[in-house]
Amino acid sequence: MGIDKRFGAVHANRDVNLSVARGSIHGLIGENGAGKSTLMNIVYGFHRADRGEIRVNGRAVQIGRPRDSIDAGIGMVHQHFMLVENFSVLENVVLGAEGGRLLGKGLAAARAGLEALARDYGLDVPLDAETGHLPVGLQQRVEILKALHHRAEILILDEPTAVLTPPEADQLFRMLSLLRDQGKTVVLVTHKLREIMAVTDRVTVMRQGAVVHETATRDTSPKALAEQMVGRSVSLRVEKGPASPGPVLLEVRNLCVSDRLGVPRVKSASFALRAGEIVGIAGVSGNGQTELLEALTGIRRPTSGEVLLSGRALTPKGLGPRGLRSLGVAHVPEDRLKMGVVSSFSAEDNVILGYHDRGAFARGGFFRRGAIRADCVAKMSAFDVRPTDPSLRITSFSGGNQQKLVLAREMDCGPSVLIVGQPTRGVDIGAIEFIHRRIVELRDQGKAVLVVSVELDEIMGLSDRILVMAGGEVVGELPGAEATEETLGLMMAGVRREGSR
């Protein structure tokens, strides 16, 4: 109650009051930078509030560190998992609560408890598997199991579907409903309106650090919530006219790509990308899209096949990312934290990555710091990045603002071909509308855009043509205007569309 928090000049939480009913799923939504994660990090003890009070079951509690929150029956699953990747699932769950010096006895007791939790809540995970080898959906289950093992009655999930495919997200929602039905309380922090409408009982909207609206979910709609989040009318559809395709800029012929273990991931993929069009690639995550993007952007060398840029063969040797950038190919990677930014760098240094040797930013072997900062400020203004402080470390920005900075870097460099992986992963509704508009503007300027996304609504809304990948193969192609979730779903399951290559 009355939670207030500042970080220097940034007023992150402004007298926030939030009440969550026991045995319910409560949604907390808002744009990136609205203060949602700050509020939950205060509840979990990562930050201390400047002012205000936290009550659990009507009793005031003092929370100054995560241990205090755990002792109060609160668990939190963060957007970026806090697991030791080379530990087993069992070792990760008991970490910090090993059961004394007799580790074997503590592990045995934990194993029995976890097996019971898995049965009760449908959270089956191989306890002896190395955590880093598990898919992200199972890693998230480990985090939930860890919270339940610590006897959490209140479970906070911060942007839990940011790294999940749609089927994994639906499976998570079923788990959350089961947790609620068995008396647990869930706070779902998200910006995805579909998730709010699908699984929550009540929803609170934050904007610019303050609570601006609260309602029963059944009494609202996605459009109403979007307007409360952004403070204005928001289009939930991608606004674009028909494409005017020009010459082929990028062509792929029978491309085969293997992973680092030599396992084939892309099998004889062929397609063309024309100026003035957006081509979307749909598919369940892990069906070769990542390896295809890496091959097209010079990160991974194909095992066979051809890639041509404006008729010029780039394979088999390839040019690498730097050479492709010099030819006008820009790349927004699927995972911005692993491949899009350097977490220890400032915003202004991240915004010139890959373009740092251009004359605008360097001269005589020295960086032109004033020019770099001015360029970053201009990009922040053009892409509505908040806060507008180029000197802040990139990790000081919300995920959506990090994504906008990466997009600004790649889209403002004047590319002829833009290759984008998961353009709006972890991005709020207002920023999604903005990013989609900028991608369409680039198409209308005669650029070629290739988009990979696991969000079918995004693929159907953005794409002029849609390719579907399953099992490493392009199993079909259809015009964006003809696509439906049912048609794409069948193709994603490997059912080839009649007439497709």
Calculate the alpha carbon distances from 444 to 249, 277, 483 in Å. 15, 8, 21
Stretches in the chain below the pLDDT threshold 50: 102, 501
Residue 418, CA distances (Å) to 276, 277, 439, 477 in order:
11, 11, 9, 20
Residues 6+ apart with CB under 8 A from 216: 201, 202, 203
Please tell me the predicted confidence (pLDDT) of residue 104: 59
Q: Report the length, in residues, of the chain.
A: 501
Q: Do domains 3-230 and 235-328+414-501 have the same CATH topology?
A: yes
State the alpha helices, DSSP H only, in 122-192.
136-149, 166-181
- Residue 169 has a pLDDT of 79
pLDDT score at 432: 84
pTM of the complete model? 0.71
Kindly give, in sequence order, each residue whose CB lies less than 8 Å from that of residue 59, ignoring residues fewer than 6 positions away.
Answer: none
Which CATH number describes the domain made up of 3-230?
3.40.50.300
Domain 235-328+414-501, CATH 3.40.50.300 — does that match?
yes
Structural domain boundaries in the chain? 3-230, 235-328+414-501
What pLDDT score was predicted for residue 102? 47
Query: In sequence order, what are the beta bridge partners of 476?
Result: 468
The Cα diameter of the chain in Å comes to 70
Of 175, 86, 192, 102, the residue nearest 137 (C-alpha): 175
The helix or strand, by DSSP H or E, that contains position 210, with its residue range, turns out to be strand 210-216
Residue 116 and residue 145: Cα distance in Å, rounded?
11
